[in-house]
Amino acid sequence: MSLQTKQTTELTFSSLGLSPKLLAILAKLHFTTPTPIQAQAIPVASRGEDIIGIAQTGTGKTLAFALPLITRIAQHKRQGLVLVPTRELAEQVAESFQQVGRTLNLRLALLIGGAPMGRQVRDIQRKPHVIIGTPGRINDHLERGTLKLHGVGGLVLDEADRMLDMGFAPQIKKIVRHVPATRQTMLFSATMPTAIVRLAAAYMKKPVRVEVTPPGTVVAKVSQELFIVQRDQKNRLLDKLLTECSGTVLVFSRTKYGAKKICRAMRSANHAVAEIHSNLSPAQRRRALAGFKTGTYRVLVATDIASRGIDVSDIELVVNYDLPDQLEDYVHRIGRTGRAGKAGRAISFVNPDQHHQIKLIERLVQKRLSVSRLPQLGVERAPERMVHKPARTVGRGKPHFAQPAGRASRGRRARVRI
């Protein structure tokens, strides 16, 4: 697989080869200067080349593939297919397409689990320009015969590292069988392990690699710290942190049952808190996320469905109540704070026996994580002391410390006019 690395340059949207109509829409949305991943990826993708885009979370990857995809749909009259790992991320990607494409009569179909099939079938029958969905629901429609993908000319895998891991790879393989071989394929993510790049070679033709930051790089303005804490002290420590923090806080739990327990405990401590995980219906998850965005809830407790599916401005603090099962999810979790060049803070609760996991995280983010002194929590027994040594030099392999667990605007029937 031939890879090419591009160098970062200072550009404006008007110099990226976009149509005047798209430039007028971007100006109206107050998008004037492209981010580095947009500046480098848009010209390459607009030429129809396959692309692997790697950039930090929160750096505008969605527009980096949405703008060239819309451009090529208008030029070649073929559909776009965007695959994402979670419902929340699918809805946010659809919102971005809708934001740019509304005045262009861009028709979308949002195909996600938990939503009414009848409504999705009607959206498909309207012949959408762009189909956005999760692999499970896309395959449901393919098996029912309600969806045909022979008109797809552009395939996008957002959060491609997760899309091609052991959990999603078989589903992606089924979908790709229905997509024409003569297509453009784009992969975007904040992390792109070597094993995933090798797997992606089966779906791509001489892709250009656009990498504005090394895989696993964390936004520089996000401070990272650890608390070594016993399991039975975590709720007390979280309560204290939430009391001291005045801004919005996103708390990550490893399991959905844990998220429910944390939410219940923090609610009992008089914190305005909501939860989001796969045991909730799509409507419940949307209400929780909307309440978090509007300030109804200051705290949101989530599983890793939110590490790649939440785009909320000005999250002051991210707390890893539990370390993630998959190493790369650490980067995606703390990337929810410090977005768009702003400062952020990330705190991880670490059990005394988890020193190996911390070494692997340090190896990924290429920095030593500071250990903060545990405040007085009113418990009799202090946590065991953990010897914390700096990580070794970063290696090429993919370190991991656990095996991975395996509606949009309808618009009118007019063509996309750009």
> Would you give per-residue pLDDT tens digits along the chain (418 residues)?
433 444 444 578 988 989 999 999 999 998 888 988 999 999 999 999 999 998 876 678 899 999 999 999 999 999 999 999 888 889 889 999 999 999 999 999 999 988 899 999 999 999 999 999 999 999 999 999 999 999 999 999 998 877 777 578 889 999 999 999 999 999 998 777 777 787 788 889 889 999 886 554 555 678 899 999 999 999 999 999 999 998 999 999 999 999 999 999 999 999 999 999 878 887 888 889 889 988 899 999 998 866 565 667 788 999 999 998 887 788 878 888 876 566 789 999 999 999 899 998 888 888 888 899 988 886 434 444 444 554 444 444 444 444 444 444 444 445 555 5
Assess whether 184 and 278 both reside in one domain: no
User: Burial of 352 by CB count in 10 Å (0-12 exposed, 13-18 middle, 19+ buried)?
Assistant: middle
Residues 250 and 358 reside in one and the same domain: yes
Q: Which of 186, 211, 236 is the last residue of a domain?
A: 211
Residue 385 lies in a domain: no
Domain boundary (349, 371, 393) is at 371
CA atoms of 18 and 13, how far apart (whole Å) = 7
User: To the nearest 10°, the Cα dihedral for 53, 59, 61, 63?
Assistant: -140
| Residues 185 and 239 both lie in one domain | no
* CATH classification at residue 282: 3.40.50.300
- Whether 406 is in a domain gets the answer no
Would residue 110 count as lying in a domain? yes
Say if residue 261 is in the same domain as residue 300.
yes
Q: In this structure, is residue 353 part of a structural domain?
A: yes
Provide the residue range defining the domain that includes 82.
Answer: 13-211
Do both 41 and 167 map to the same domain?
yes
Cα 85 to chain centroid distance, Å, stands at 8
207, 227: one domain: no
- Does any domain span residue 389? no
pLDDT of residue 393: 43
